[in-house]
Structure 1
Amino acid sequence: MIYVTGDRLQAHHVRAAAFVMRWRGLDPAQVYDYLGRVADELDRLRRELTTAHTEAERIRQALRQWQSRHRNCRHGDPGESNGRWPR
């Protein structure tokens, strides 16, 4: 069996996993089919995580730009002018 220490488990680690054959062991075809599904799921989750990080960074940048554009905007206190918003 391949053990990767210190690194995140990658799909190719799962696909490359090898097991010692035993007389009363599991069906190798089932094990490797399942490992293939696990590796596919790891790939999918990694892509989703990358997409989420990219989107989060895009939103952070957009927020910074918005804050920069509106830094000098001043609004009155909502409690001013008889509890009405300034016009």
Structure 2
Amino acid sequence: MQRLLPQDIRAATFGNRRWRGLDPDQVYAYLDRIADELERLAREAITAKTETERLRQALRQGHCRHTLRSTNGRWPR
């Protein structure tokens, strides 16, 4: 299955309005809301991924310092 992107949602088209069908303006307004939310969630995911990597790096550095200190009894400078 292909990833759904905000621009895919905004570019979606539907057939002609049928008798007792959906109002196209309402459908497109709703699709815009969905696309906006998808963009927001994508930004949040990028931010979370960046923060996770930053924390991993900090933990690795802390682990290295702890290892060095435990071997010679001093903190690295």
TM-score scaled by length of structure 2: 0.83
Q: Count how many residue pairs are aligned between Structure 1 and Structure 2.
A: 69
Aligned to 1:18, what secondary structure does the other structure show? coil
The Cα shift of 1:24 comes to 2.8
Aligned counterpart, 1:56: 52
Q: Which runs of 4+ in 1 moved over 6 A?
A: none
1:42 equivalent in alignment to 2:32: no
Q: Give % identity.
A: 59
* 2:24 counterpart residue number: 28
Asked which structure has the greater CA Rg, the reply is: 1
Q: TM-score, normalised by structure 1?
A: 0.74
- CA RMSD of superposed structures (Å): 1.1
Q: What residue in structure 1 maps to residue 10 of structure 2?
A: 15
